[in-house]
Structure 1
Amino acid sequence: MITYKNKIAVDDYLQLRDAVKWKNVPREQAKKALKGSVYMIVAYDNDKVVGMARVVGDGTYMALIVDVMVHPDYQNMKIGSYIMNNVMNTLESSVTGDDIMMINLMSVPGKETFYEKFGLAARPNKTMGPGMCRWVNVK
């Protein structure tokens, strides 16, 4: 049975990144990154981490959803959908009064339609240019 928590051990995070074949991040950097999260949700199969997402940002106006990952052995089991619904509901419910929030996410190629199900718009489009990034010190 899959359960969900709002925490992850650094080693589990690094193992999940490795399972989905993402870039290696030094352990201390990963520890700092996780600590700097505004929010996170982590899927567990007993004690094994099988999926996650986290949010970074200023906690009020700008939110960036990052590290949306599901272990390859657990894909197509609706874990990613549960995680994204949870993240979106958490962010949307945090907006009160006249406040506004821009929720951002950088999709890997081919996954855009998955994220569109949660109200995210692929870029570029009529009102926004393409997303941009720059890697520093990547080996």
Structure 2
Amino acid sequence: MTAGRKILINEMNDTKFEFTNKLNVEDYLRFREEAGWKRLAAEQAQAGLDNSYAVIAAVSGGETVGFARLLWDGGYVAYLAEVYVMEECRHQGLAKVMVENLIEKLRAEKKEGWEIKIHLLANLGRESFYEPFGFRTRPDDKDGAAMDMWL
């Protein structure tokens, strides 16, 4: 992962972003609210962060401006749970860098000969963002639509 490494993303405005594997629960809950995702209690949100396989956050000027989170069962199933970038920091490649880093971390740690299937639920209209990474839209001629439910 690129923890602590500064990467120049947008040369036009010379904004520098640092990527770290730390995300505090307050920022996580703020991003969930900004995205319009279901509200969670801080304790539940912290448990989710603590039990993630990997988290990456983008930081600019000391402020966390985006994050991505990956779950993995240690075997063959992984789930790209969330990808979010603050509206004013979008279209600068942050989400791409974060997703690439999570995929590469998983690729580097999987055992030789193993295959891991990464699942995700893309926001409506954002499916094309994930296709260059190798994700495919469902349903297709092989697999049905993804499904979910809240308990």
Q: TM-score, normalised by structure 2?
A: 0.85
Aligned residue number for residue 114 of structure 1: 129
| Distance in 2 (alpha carbons) for counterparts of 1:21 and 1:133 | 17
Matched, 1:56 2:86: no
Q: Which runs of 5+ in 2 are unaligned?
A: 1-15
After TM superposition, the runs of 4+ consecutive aligned structure 1 residues lying more than 6 A away are: none
What CA distance in whole angstroms lies between the structure 1 residues aligned with 2:131 and 2:80? 14
1:96 is displaced (CA, Å) by 2.7
The one of 113, 118, 123 aligned to 1:98: 113
Task: Report the Cα offset of residue 84 of structure 1.
Answer: 1.1
**Residues in 2 aligned to 1:88 and 1:99: alpha-carbon distance in whole angstroms:** 15
The residue identity in structure 2 corresponding to 1:96 is: K
**Unpaired segments ≥5 residues, structure 1:** none
Name which of 26, 32, 48 aligns with 2:41.
26
Provide the C-alpha distance between the structure 2 equivalents of 1:59 and 1:19, rounded to a whole number of angstroms. 31
The answer to whether the Cα contact below 8 Å between 1:38 and 1:55 also exists between their aligned partners in 2 is yes
Greater shift, 51-60 or 106-115, is seen at 51-60
* Identity percentage of aligned residues: 31
SS at match of 2:133: coil
Partner of 1:17: 32
**1:128 maps onto 2:143 in alignment:** yes
C-alpha displacement at 1:49, in angstroms?
1.1
Amino acid at match of 1:129: G
Q: CA–CA distance in 2 between the matches of 1:118 and 1:38?
A: 19
> How far apart in 2 are the matches of 1:93 and 1:129?
30
Conserved in 2, the CA contact under 8 Å of 1:20 and 1:70?
A: no
Equivalent residue for 1:42, pick from 36, 39, 57? 57
Q: Deviations over 1:24-73 (max 9, x none)?
A: 11111101000010111111112211111111131231100011111111
Superposed CA RMSD:
1.2
Q: Which amino acid letter does the alignment assign opposite residue 21 of structure 2?
A: N
Cα separation, 2, equivalents of 1:23 and 1:47 = 27
| Contact preservation (8 Å) 1:20, 1:72 | no
